[in-house]
Amino acid sequence: MEKINVILGKRSYPISIGSGILQEDNIFWPLEPGNQAMLVTNKTLANLLKDTVFYHLRKSGIRVDQVILSDGEQYKTLNEMELIISSLLEKKHARDTTLIALGGGVIGDLTGFAASVYQRGVRFIQIPTTLLSQVDASVGGKTAVNHLLGKNMIGSFWQPSSVIIDIDCLSTLPFNELISGIAEVIKYAILFDACFFEWIEKNIDQLLTLNHKAISYCIKKCCELKANLISSDERENNLRALLNFGHTYGHAIEVHTGYGSWLHGEAVSVGMIMAARTSELLGYLDKNDFKRILFLLKKTGLPVKGPKNMSAASYLPYMIRDKKVISGEIRLVLPLSIGKAKIISGIDKNIILTSIKYSQ
Q: Last residue of some domain: 130, 154, 169?
A: 169
Q: Tell me the DSSP string of 82-118.
A: HHHHHHHHHTT--TT-EEEEEESHHHHHHHHHHHHHG
- The per-residue pLDDT for range 309-360, each reduced to its tens digit, is 999 999 999 998 876 666 568 889 999 999 999 999 989 999 999 999 998 8
For residues 135 and 104, membership in a common domain is answered with yes
Q: For 13, phi and psi rounded to 5 degrees?
A: -155, 160
In a domain, 206, yes or no: no
In a domain, 226, yes or no: no
Residue from 56, 76, 123, 142 carrying the catalytic annotation: 142
pLDDT at residue number 26:
82
For residues 122 and 67, membership in a common domain is answered with yes
Residue from 11, 147, 240, 324 carrying the catalytic annotation: 240
pLDDT at residue number 191:
97
- The four Cα atoms 66, 72, 73, 78 give a dihedral, to 10 degrees, of -40
212 catalytic residue (yes or no): no
Q: Tell me the DSSP string of 159-196.
A: --SEEEEEGGGGGGS-HHHHHHHHHHHHHHHHHH-HHH
Burial status of residue 34 (CB atoms within 10 A of its CB: 0-12, 13-18, 19 or more) = exposed
Give the β-pairing of 2-6 and 13-18.
antiparallel
For residues 257 and 124, membership in a common domain is answered with no
pLDDT at residue number 150:
87
pLDDT at residue number 31:
96
Q: Which of 120-124, 228-232, 241-245 has the highest mean pLDDT?
A: 120-124
Q: What angle do CA 91, 94, 98 make, to 5 degrees?
A: 90
In a domain, 207, yes or no: no
Residue 230 falls in which region: left (phi positive, over 0), alpha (psi -120 to 50) or beta = alpha
pLDDT at residue number 341:
97
- 18 close to 2: Cβ distance less than 8 angstroms: yes
In a domain, 36, yes or no: yes
240 catalytic residue (yes or no): yes
In a domain, 216, yes or no: no
**Average pLDDT across the chain, whole number:** 94
pLDDT at residue number 66:
96
142 catalytic residue (yes or no): yes
251 catalytic residue (yes or no): yes
For residues 88 and 191, membership in a common domain is answered with no
Q: Is the pLDDT of residue 303 over 90?
A: yes
Tally of domains in the chain? 2
For residues 135 and 247, membership in a common domain is answered with no
Give the β-pairing of 150-157 and 142-147.
antiparallel
CA 67 to chain centre: 22
226 catalytic residue (yes or no): yes
* For the chain, counts of helices (H) and of strands (E): 13, 11
Terminal Cα distance for the chain, rounded: 44
Give the β-pairing of 142-147 and 123-128.
unpaired
Contacts of 214 (CB under 8 A, 6+ apart): 203, 206, 207
For residues 357 and 360, give the distance between their C-alpha atoms in angstroms, rounded to a whole number.
Answer: 5
For residues 6 and 149, membership in a common domain is answered with yes
pLDDT at residue number 167:
97
CATH number at residue 255: 1.20.1090.10
Q: What is the DSSP letter of 282?
A: T
Residue from 73, 80, 177, 184 carrying the catalytic annotation: 184
In a domain, 137, yes or no: yes
For residues 186 and 311, membership in a common domain is answered with yes
In a domain, 212, yes or no: no
- The per-residue pLDDT for range 165-205, each reduced to its tens digit, is 999 999 999 999 999 999 999 999 999 999 999 999 999 99
For residues 154 and 18, membership in a common domain is answered with yes
- 187 close to 272: Cβ distance less than 8 angstroms: yes
Domain that holds residue 96: 2-169
Amino acid at site 147: H
For residues 128 and 225, give the distance between their C-alpha atoms in angstroms, rounded to a whole number.
Answer: 17
Q: Last residue of some domain: 169, 188, 217?
A: 169
> Helix crossing, 212-232 with 194-208: angle to 10°?
140
264 catalytic residue (yes or no): yes
In a domain, 132, yes or no: yes
Residue from 50, 123, 187, 251 carrying the catalytic annotation: 251
For residues 310 and 289, membership in a common domain is answered with yes
How confident is residue 115, by pLDDT bands cut at 50, 70 and 90?
very high
176 catalytic residue (yes or no): no
187 catalytic residue (yes or no): no
Residue from 50, 73, 244, 277 carrying the catalytic annotation: 244
For residues 196 and 135, membership in a common domain is answered with no
CATH number at residue 99: 3.40.50.1970
For residues 151 and 279, membership in a common domain is answered with no
pLDDT at residue number 323:
65
For residues 33 and 61, give the distance between their C-alpha atoms in angstroms, rounded to a whole number.
Answer: 4
% the chain with pLDDT above 70: 98
pLDDT at residue number 325:
66
Q: Structure pTM?
A: 0.94
Q: Last residue of some domain: 169, 185, 215?
A: 169
Beta bridge partners of 128: 103
For residues 147 and 241, membership in a common domain is answered with no
